[in-house]
Amino acid sequence: MKPRILIIYTGGTIGMIENPITRALQPFDFNHLIDNVPKVSKLDYDIDHRQFEPPIDSSNMRPEHWAEIAVIIEREYDRYDGFVVLHGTDTMAYTASALSFMLENLHKPVIITGSQLPIGEVRTDGEENLITALQVAAAIDSRGEPMVQEVAILFENHLWRGNRSTKMSADNFDAFKSNNYPPLADIGLGIEFDTDALYRSPGHRPLKVRHVMDTAVMVLEVTPGLPEYTLQHLLHTPGIKGIVLKTFGAGNAPTDKWFLKALNDAVARGIVIVNVTQCVNGGVDDTRYETGNGLATAGVVSGRDITVEAAITKLMYLFGMNLEPNVVANYMRHNLCGEISD
């Protein structure tokens, strides 16, 4: 049996061409993509595609688009061995994180890829990324099971866990990294999977897709000298339910009484505040310094080594289920699908 792969083309640079008049890059349709990658037909796979109408720049991605991707996967889950999602790089890590939560009990590969240069360009990275993503989506282990059973990002020389990934460069081909988790595979002459790093969802429950995301969440970055009125203003944003608080170092923030009281009052009003470090690497240890301890005492939840992308989409997903703030806070402390270290 040939591997059956469904490509879902959402847009992004990978499928872009230059507007001959304005010279700006704009999305083109999927046939352009296949025309430019004749090598795809050399893979002995059955490949179908679905595409967003119109394809979008990923900066325009919204939770409704994540739901659209999730619905396609849900509808086609039994017909395909794996899914390749072509997506712009700008918000790819958010989409990968969101899908990892929305696709519960996933046992098939959902490989997201894109490119830094349009696929029509001579030096494009899109061709290699697409071919490798298809191969990863078709890979099986020694028992004939899908090798990858999670949402992952394939970019340049690595396969990364989706909900651990961050876009690291606007210029380099090697644009993604998961700073707190090893690559799921190294791409060189061959594709070397790290089987210990691959996620396996417990049990064999059927896929359950949750489409509703609640967007009453935001990211608040602590900076030296953050004025009290700014903080109060943000914490009193009408309807806000969840906040990712980006703190210094190992989860530290000012110890000023007004600062901690403002956060404590917000938590008392039912807002879930999650402490995530501003550092690219490492995580929150709010027991290490007094400056982190104050946040824990104020009721701020430690996000440990979660990424901002995963933290914000996890809040959207949990509030999307209409859970009470204390239940959301509790889930934020625990690993759901490989997004934080145990």
Active site residues: 13
Is the dihedral angle over the CA atoms 85, 94, 209, 331 positive or is it negative? positive
Secondary structure percentages of the chain, helix, strand, coil, to 5: 30, 20, 45
Name the maximum alpha-carbon separation found in the chain.
Answer: 66
CB of 114 to ligand ASP, least distance (A): 5
Which amino acid is present at 233? H
Nearer residue to ligand ASP within complex by CB, 166 or 180:
166
Selected binder of ligand ASP within 68, 90, 104, 121 (CB under 6 A)? 90
The verdict on 118 binding ligand ASP (CB under 6 A) reads no
Q: Which stretch binds ligand ASP (CB under 6 A): 86-94, 128-136, 245-253, 308-316?
A: 86-94
Interaction of residue 320 with ligand ASP, rule CB under 6 A: no
- Smallest separation, CB 7 to ligand ASP (Å): 16
Angstrom CA distances, 297 to 23, 127, 248, 266, stand at 55, 51, 17, 13
275 binds ligand ASP (CB under 6 A): no
Contacting range for ligand ASP; rule: CB under 6 A; set: 32-40, 82-90, 197-205, 250-258: 82-90
Distances (CA, A) of 171 to 90, 128, 277: 11, 17, 24
Say how far apart CA 242 and CA 315 lie, in whole Å: 6
By the rule CB under 6 A, 126 interacts with ligand ASP? no
Per-residue x/- marks for ligand ASP, 11-30, CB under 6 A? -xx-----------------
Nearest approach, Cβ of residue 8 and ligand ASP (Å)? 15
Q: CA angle, corner 336, sides to 276 and 329, nearest 5?
A: 55
Q: Is residue 142 close enough to count as binding ligand ASP by CB under 6 A?
A: no
Q: Which of 3, 55, 88, 338 is the binder for ligand ASP (CB under 6 A)?
A: 88
User: What residues numbered 234-273 form the site for ligand ASP, per CB under 6 A?
Assistant: none
Phi-psi region of 203 (alpha: psi -120 to 50; beta: other; left: phi over 0): left
Which one, 57 or 104, has the nearer CB to ligand ASP? Answer: 57
SS3 202: coil
Q: In the bound complex, which residue of the shown chain has the CB atom lying closest to ligand ASP? A: 88
Question: Which of residues 18, 46, 57, 265 is near ligand ASP by CB under 6 A?
Answer: 57
Shorter beta-carbon distance to ligand ASP: residue 12 or 183: 12
With a CB cutoff of 8 Å and minimum separation 6, the contacts of 106 are 100, 149, 150, 151, 201, 207, 337
Residue type, 285: D
Question: If we measure between CA atoms, which residue out of 305, 311, 292, 93 comes closest to residue 219?
Answer: 311
Name the segment binding ligand ASP (CB under 6 A); options: 52-60, 121-129, 247-255, 264-272: 52-60
- Give yes or no for residue 120 binding ligand ASP (CB under 6 A): no
Question: Binding to ligand ASP by residue 166, rule CB under 6 A?
Answer: no
**27 close to 57: Cβ distance less than 8 angstroms:** yes
Q: How far is the CB of 116 from ligand ASP (least distance, A)?
A: 6
Among 5, 36, 85, 89, binds ligand ASP (CB under 6 A): 89
For 267, list phi and psi in degrees, rounded to 5: -65, -40
- Look at the alpha carbons of 68, 73, 79, 84 in this order and tell me if their dihedral is positive or negative: positive
Q: Which residues bind ligand ASP (CB under 6 A)?
A: 12-13, 57-59, 88-90, 114, 116
